[in-house]
């Protein structure tokens, strides 16, 4: 659960600041071993197969950033 004060601070950030925060958080867990159970692995494989079958259902990172930036 997110600390309410931290959540408020994040909600006060611009979209660009929040995306920068996501990049920072991701960089802090890049080398951490994460255990993924079989149910989640199955879900990931299924979604990857759906995207491979129809690439138009997904967005590139640049497209997502662009959409989020337009909301700000």
| Confidence band for 63, pLDDT divided at 50, 70 and 90 | very high
Give yes or no for residue 72 having a pLDDT over 80. no
Do residues 27 and 39 share a domain? no
Distance of CA 64 to the CA centre of its chain: 10
Q: Are residues 22 and 39 located together in one domain of the fold?
A: no
Instruction: State which residues form the domain around 53.
Output: 35-72
pLDDT band at 45 (very low <50, low <70, confident <90, very high): very high
pLDDT (0 to 100) of residue 38? 96
For the segment 19-42, what is each residue's pLDDT rounded down to a tens digit?
999 999 999 988 888 899 999 999
* Nearest 10 degrees: Cα torsion 18, 26, 1, 34: 160
Predicted TM-score (pTM) of this structure = 0.47
Give the span between the Cα atoms of 51 and 29, in whole angstroms: 25
pLDDT value at residue 31: 85
Per the structure, how many domains does the chain have? 2
DSSP string covering 17-47, please? HHHHHHHHHHHHHTTS-----HHHHHHHHHH
Are 9 and 41 found together in one domain?
no
2 and 26 part of one domain: yes
């Amino acid at each position: 659960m997110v600390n309410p004060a931290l959540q408020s601070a994040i909600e006060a950030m611009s979209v660009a600041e929040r995306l920068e925060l996501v990049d920072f958080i991701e960089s802090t867990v890049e080398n951490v071993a994460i255990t993924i159970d079989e149910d989640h692995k199955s879900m990931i494989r299924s979604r990857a197969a759906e995207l491979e079958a129809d690439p138009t259902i997904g967005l590139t990172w640049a497209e997502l950033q662009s959409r989020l930036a337009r909301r700000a």
